[in-house]
Amino acid sequence: MRFKLLLGLFIIIAIIGLLTFSQQGKSFREKYLDKYIGSVTGLFKGVTGRFVKQQPVNRTLDITFETDLSGISGQIFDVQNLDLDTTLLYDSATIAGQTVNIKDDKTIDFKTSGMSGTVQILGENKMKIIGESQSVEVNGIVLSPQSDKDKIGFSLIGEPKTFSLNNIEKDTMTFSGISGILRFKDWSPLALENDNLNIQKFKGTITLNEDTVIITGKIEKASLNGVDLSSKI
């Protein structure tokens, strides 16, 4: 049995050598085998090519959306390195562990850069700010910690008159029953009236000025009333 196995291997090796090195073998291979082998190899390449995972093409879209403050009610922004500038009629304010009380005027001009924390748009046109940063400015007075390693904590709730939120990043923003003006680059403005808007992978700025909230920046995807707008832009 072992002799037969060795004999079979010898015959196979001899045939391969004949096809590879002898002139007659080369002619036979070129005439009958190479074309067939090439066709089979090409077939396998074609089949395997169909199963190569296609890498998604990420593109960003320029967006501008205008609405009122109630239109973004319920939105919560978890922020890092946020630049914040706001003027609000405050209900409560605590800075560096101290309660802020202003007798004659309930208006606070509040600025900070590099903030970490949350900004939440409440109902009844209110905004809640909780966070910390290395310095804050309140009505023109700059407050800084004693050490560069320390940070000042703050918490404010009130009705914003103006605000500017820079460096905002949010994976998803969903707006239900919203009205306003939606703009994309090279598109005519879309007038929304009690519509449902979904925005994904937003990076940009959100401002409030004269009762108008302006959301401007870049996104990866947007859908209106369940219709994907990204594929149409």
Which residue spans within the chain are E strands per DSSP? Answer: 61-67, 76-95, 98-99, 107-121, 127-133, 136-138, 141-143, 152-184, 190-209, 212-219, 221-224, 227-228
The Cα–Cα gap between 208 and 200 comes to 21
Confidence band (pLDDT; 50, 70, 90) for 197?
very high
Contact 97, 153 (CB under 8 A): yes
Q: How many CA atoms lie within 13 A of 182 on its CB side?
A: 19
Residue 204 Ramachandran class (φ > 0 left, ψ -120 to 50 alpha, else beta): left
The percentage of residues in the chain with a pLDDT greater than 70, rounded to a whole number, is 74
Please tell me whether residue 46 adopts helix, strand or coil conformation. helix
pLDDT at residue 199, rounded to an integer: 95
pLDDT at residue 149, rounded to an integer: 81
Confidence band (pLDDT; 50, 70, 90) for 31?
low
C-alpha 162 chain-centroid distance: 26
**Residue keyed to tokens 């905004």:** 127
The Cα–Cα gap between 82 and 165 comes to 7
Q: pLDDT per residue over 37-95, tens digit each?
A: 444 444 444 444 444 444 444 578 899 999 999 999 999 999 998 889 999 999 999 99
Q: pLDDT per residue over 122-166, tens digit each?
A: 988 999 999 999 999 999 999 988 887 889 999 999 999 999 998
Which pTM was predicted? 0.70
